[in-house]
Amino acid sequence: MSIYRDPASWMARLALGVPADWGRAVPDQAFLVSPIGFRRADESARDNVYMAESGFDAERALTQHADLVAAVRGVLPATVFPGSAETPDAVFPNNVFASVPRRLIIGAMKHPVRQREAARTDLPAWFEAQFGASVQRLDAPGVVAELTGPLIIDRGRGLGFCGMSERVNEAGLAAMDEAFGLRAMYAFDLVPGEYHTNVVMSVLAGRALVLHRASVADPAAADAIASLYGDAVIWLSDEEKAAFAGNCIALSDRHVFLSARAYQSLAASTRQRFLDLRFELVPVALDEIEKAGGSLRCCIGEIYC
């Protein structure tokens, strides 16, 4: 096991050196799932404070999703799979499916509505046919592991940052540690009410960090996470975090995608920080899809061939 639980031990591990030679820092390709049957997922809403109570427009969600697909395809290849009315959360595949070269990992989801999503067979079959990938399912009695929802990965260095919440338990943490085969993983507590780390934190192309400090229960843990990135840390305000600015994703060494709402929430100084770090911000309107409690990164399935 390579899991560290306190800031001091994590800092000691980093002091041993972590070269950026573990893998590609950004995905080779992407996949998305269309919001067919888009509606409120009542089960998921129980522990997702970002979800709207009502006012879901399925046609508008489809239009915004198509615009997102077009924007992503401007940077890297992207494949779209159909959603289903039986799986209204399926528009957020980043939390259910993850990959390492030649292997697809399928999460152990907390809620039955998402367990149905993880049970689909067409997507794993496509990975097997397209990439010769094996499939590893983490679902087992007592395991909750919602993959790159709670787990943020620095793919260049092979490091994981797992924010503990209701969407990952100790058995799930161990299962993800084994499945991803990372060099080391730092597990820390999120504050109550935060369900996924990828709403409050993002590692951008292995060379910068976006983080909302107040979403990490222990300030020392936030500092330990940030220490690896030196001056390349973008600290989010409460307002920026609430608008899903933490749910951004780098799809190339310089292109950072985020929702239009997230982009509009950024203070001028925050936007300048992205520019200073040589990132180009790519905003996409997703306010309809965001009513379902997630944003742009959640919509992107990352493929590492």
52-79 tens-digit pLDDT: 555 678 889 999 999 999 999 999 999 9
pLDDT > 70? residue 129: yes
Nearest to 40 by CA among 97, 99, 111: 111
275 pLDDT higher than 90 = yes
Q: Euclidean distance between the first and final Cα of the chain, in Å?
A: 25
Average pLDDT over residues 242-246: 98
Give yes or no for residue 223 having a pLDDT over 70.
Answer: yes
Residue 46 confidence (pLDDT): 59
pTM above 0.85?
A: yes
Decide if pLDDT at 109 tops 70.
yes
Q: What is the pLDDT of residue 49?
A: 57
Radius of gyration of the chain (CA): 18
Q: Across all residues in the chain, what is the average pLDDT?
A: 94
Give me the pLDDT at residue 165, please: 97
Instruction: Give residue for tokens 């152990």.
Output: 108
Span 42-47, average pLDDT: 53
Residue 89: what pLDDT?
85
pLDDT of residue 45: 44
> Quick one: DSSP state of residue 148?
T
pLDDT tens for 72-107 read 999 999 999 999 988 988 999 999 999 999 999 999
Which pLDDT does position 42 carry in this prediction? 57
Decide if pLDDT at 48 tops 80: no
Tell me the average pLDDT across 185-203. Answer: 97
**Average pLDDT rounded to a whole number, residues 189-199:** 95
Query: Which of 153, 151, 201 has the alpha carbon at shortest distance from 18?
Result: 153
CB 250 within 8 Å of CB 282: no
Residue 167: which of 57, 2, 14, 50 has the closest Cα?
A: 50
* Residue 188 CA from chain centroid, whole number: 16
* CB environment 23-53: b (16+ within 10 A), e (fewer): bebbbebbbbbbbbbbbbbebbbebbebbee
Collapsing DSSP states into helix, strand and coil, what is residue 168? Answer: strand
Predicted confidence (pLDDT) at residue 1 exceeds the cutoff of 60? no
Q: Which residues pair with 98 in a beta bridge?
A: 105
pLDDT of residue 146: 98
The structural architecture, per CATH, of the domain 3-303 is: 5-stranded Propeller (3.75)
Model confidence at 255: pLDDT above 70: yes
Is residue 125 predicted with pLDDT exceeding 80? yes
* Per-domain boundaries in the chain: 3-303
Kindly list the strands in the beta sheet with 201-204, ordered across the sheet, starting from the edge strand earlier in the chain.
201-204, 208-211, 233-235
Residue 40, pLDDT score: 55
Answer yes or no: are the C-beta atoms of 196 and 50 closer than 8 Å.
no
